[in-house]
Amino acid sequence: MTMTLPQRRLGGNGPYVSAIGLGCMGMSDFYGQRDEAESLATIAHALDRGLNFLDTADMYGPYTNEELVGRAIKGRRHQAFIATKFGIVRDPNNPAARGFNGRPEYVRASVEGSLKRLGVDHIDLYYQHRVDRSVPIEETVGAMADLVRAGKVRWLGLSEASAATLERAHKVHPIAALQSEYSLWTRDVDESGALAMCRKLGVTLVAYSPLGRGFLAGAFKSPADFDADDYRRHSPRFQGENFARNLALVAKVEAMATSRGCTPAQLALAWVLAQGEDIVPIPGTKRRKYLDENIGALTVKLGADELAALDAVFPAGAVAGLRYPEAMMSGVNG
């Protein structure tokens, strides 16, 4: 039986989605061991619980994550709201390298691949994954708008775009969502003005990595907790001295969660949810157990005093280390 969850709206006059989404990336890439059966069961369980907002991208895998989501929604397409992305180009010979492509012909070719892998006739929300600074945003979004007119895509989004880029894009075609990293330990959209621009334009912020890639959930106590091929081993916040300093911050979140009667993951998600009705976090997990726990965050309502207390123990800028390896930072706020 499908249940309902609180909903939030994408864009000023856009569609309603569950107030928490499900990030599917880690099911296929970046976060160590894969378990396809449990991943499929997690997506099915999400839909059963009324969590319909599923997040993937062509570069996760690459490609295999869209295929996995496609298998999971087979026969249940009408229950799912599928968001996918194009624009990050990976080099099979160098998995760490990233290129960005926002050329119109690339947009047109990419959507066909995503539709096929997902096994759908339209994508609900199509994002440019990273701004390609060598192509005017008007050209990229113009090509994306053509996809809307062709019925291949319903709504448009950008990921990690700056306030200025978002404003230019929105003039070409309404942008329903900006997907950027946002959590207790990543407040860049507050500081850069991107969230303020979202609010000016009526664009919803889809908050990715709202659990700090799992760190804020308190599940990791040492860099050795990660598999050898786990991306986080190479991420500055998860290394050496940074890891230790960040662990001390999370210990305070854990203590607050204990006294509040919730888990640290729920507290971290409740903080994101409390920043505004126009924000939708998409925590990632490949397990039904964590999914249920994360949905439980919807009932953790933080009052002004609790939010202030949380901000006091984990203030903006307190985190140690960049959120991406140096070379990848040039891709954000584009």
Ligand X SMILES: NC(=O)c1ccc[n+]([C@@H]2O[C@H](COP(=O)([O-])OP(=O)(O)OC[C@H]3O[C@@H](n4cnc5c(N)ncnc54)[C@H](OP(=O)(O)O)[C@@H]3O)[C@@H](O)[C@H]2O)c1
With CB under 6 A as the rule, give the number of residues binding ligand X.
Answer: 28
| Binding test (CB under 6 A) with ligand X, winner from 287, 306, 322, 328 | 287
Q: Active-site residue 127, yes or no?
A: no
| Binding test (CB under 6 A) with ligand X, winner from 29, 55, 124, 278 | 55
The burial class, CB within 10 Å (0-12 / 13-18 / 19+), for 71 is: middle
Would you say 229 or 305 has its CB closer to ligand X?
A: 229
Would you say 1 or 128 has its CB closer to ligand X?
A: 128
Which whole-number Å values give the CA distances from 293 to 217, 296, 328, in the listed order?
11, 5, 31
Residue type, 250: V
Q: Which stretch binds ligand X (CB under 6 A): 91-99, 137-145, 221-229, 290-298?
A: 290-298
Please give the structure tokens belonging to residue 68: 């996995």
Residue type, 48: D
Q: How many whole angstroms separate alpha carbon 199 and alpha carbon 217?
A: 28
Would you say 191 or 304 has its CB closer to ligand X?
A: 191
| Binding test (CB under 6 A) with ligand X, winner from 283, 295, 319, 320 | 283
Shortest distance, position 225 Cβ to ligand X, whole Å: 10
Angle, helices 104-118 vs 137-149, to 10°: value is 40
Please give the structure tokens belonging to residue 304: 């002004």
Q: How many whole angstroms separate alpha carbon 122 and alpha carbon 137?
A: 23
Residue type, 130: R
The burial class, CB within 10 Å (0-12 / 13-18 / 19+), for 186 is: buried
Beta pairing, strands 279-281 & 204-208: parallel
By residue count, the chain amounts to 334
Q: Which of helix, strand or coil describes residue 180?
A: strand
User: What does the per-residue mask of binding to ligand X show for 127-166, with x meaning CB under 6 A?
Assistant: --------------------------------xx------
Would you say 97 or 308 has its CB closer to ligand X?
A: 97
Chain-centroid distance of CA 89 in Å reads 18
Q: Does 294 bind ligand X (CB under 6 A)?
A: yes
| Binding test (CB under 6 A) with ligand X, winner from 19, 123, 211, 270 | 211
In the window 227-266, what residues touch ligand X (CB under 6 A)?
A: 265
User: What does the per-residue mask of binding to ligand X show for 15-54, with x meaning CB under 6 A?
Assistant: --------xxxx----x-----------------------
> Alpha-carbon torsion 12, 17, 18, 23, what sign?
negative
Shortest distance, position 53 Cβ to ligand X, whole Å: 10
Q: Does 282 bind ligand X (CB under 6 A)?
A: yes
| Binding test (CB under 6 A) with ligand X, winner from 102, 293, 310, 320 | 293
Which of 31, 60, 126, 231 is catalytic? The answer is: 60
| Binding test (CB under 6 A) with ligand X, winner from 284, 314, 320, 321 | 284
Q: Does 334 bind ligand X (CB under 6 A)?
A: no
Q: Does 114 bind ligand X (CB under 6 A)?
A: no
CA dihedral angle for residue 199, residue 129, residue 102, residue 140, rounded to 10 degrees: -30
Whether the CB-CB separation of 83 and 127 falls below 8 Å is answered with: yes
Judged by the rule CB under 6 A, the positions of this chain that interact with ligand X are: 23-26, 31, 55, 159-160, 179, 208-214, 217, 219, 265, 282-287, 290, 293-294
Q: Which residues are catalytic?
A: 60
